[in-house]
Structure 1
């Protein structure tokens, strides 16, 4: 419809054209919805599988490391027994009366049994003597000037370290060599021509 004003001005009238929406093929719509639902199901299955694996790993860690606190406490008791044996003079062991010898044997048996029980539950001593110093397993207490040993080598163990699985319960307290040749990997060669 043309208004009289628009016609007088010479303008073309505005005609409203209804929007045409393209018809959606119902089969294509169902295929798209099906693909989306498959994607959701696959993602949910993957999330559940990841959750299952994470839970299994957590349960295994809990089983392996649940006794870590108790084991640390037992190490303190085992150390006390070891120190008790160290302070006994050698002549008391050999020439002591039957009561003293029995007491010493009892302390030795208790220490061995505690070590056996710790090992049974996965608590193992950390190798330190003669090893390259590893700050994850060893705690350096002092340095020993020793030009005959490679620098950074553990030369003395003050207190044994222990680990449960791959976790350190207590680092080994050690003395480390200083002044010897440095540790260099055997397969690494140094080019001195530069």
Structure 2
């Protein structure tokens, strides 16, 4: 009987042990699943962080590329403008000499020597004007035109005279444009 009790106790312990073991395995499986879920969640968070960083870097790269393209375009426009108006300072310095040539050519004389001299001056003036024209210099039309403050500088206003109001009656000094830029406005008399 004592053996029977021992056997029954051993069998009960085995049954209890057998019952406890599956519970432990289930708990272990649940813990493993929880650990795996935590690891997956952590990995998803890490992936989300990395994706956010990648998106930020891509945005910065796009902005830098756009800034560089804008810089390149500005430099190109500046170079084109510099090339287009490279002669502006020279032309501006030469304009007073051109004006003096035109005033000198208005001299009237009967003397052959003076006429010959004026003819030579006229040839030099024509060559100079042609050279400046090839650089893009052109005279601003003034007499008979509507007054334009961008092209004309009114130094005198009169009420009498032919033409409509706000019309240029007389030009005192020629104005010039280099390509599309006014480098000196015409000095004019305007009818009110």
**Pairwise TM-score range, normalised by the shorter structure:** 0.7 to 0.9
* Counterpart selection for 1:146 from 143, 155, 160: 160
RMSD: 1.7
Gaps of 5+ in 2: 1-40
Query: Within the alignment, does 1:31 sit opposite 2:45 as a pair?
Result: no
CA positional deviation for 1:101: 2.9
Aligned residues: 151
Distance 1:132 1:154 in 2: 6
Counterpart residue number, 2:131: 117
The structure where helix makes up a greater share of residues is: 2
Using structure 2 for the length normalisation, give the TM-score. 0.73
CA positional deviation for 1:34: 1.2
Counterpart residue number, 2:173: 159
Using structure 1 for the length normalisation, give the TM-score. 0.72
Larger Rg: 2
Query: Within the alignment, does 1:168 sit opposite 2:145 as a pair?
Result: no
- Checking the alignment, whether the CA contact within 8 Å between 2:105 and 2:118 is kept in structure 1 is yes
Gaps of 5+ in 1: 1-21, 179-194
Distance 2:161 2:94 in 1: 38
Counterpart residue number, 1:104: 118
Counterpart residue number, 1:57: 77
Superposed structure 1 runs of 4+ greater than 3 Å apart:
none
* Counterpart selection for 1:82 from 102, 111, 114: 102
CA positional deviation for 1:50: 0.3
* Counterpart selection for 1:127 from 126, 141, 145: 141
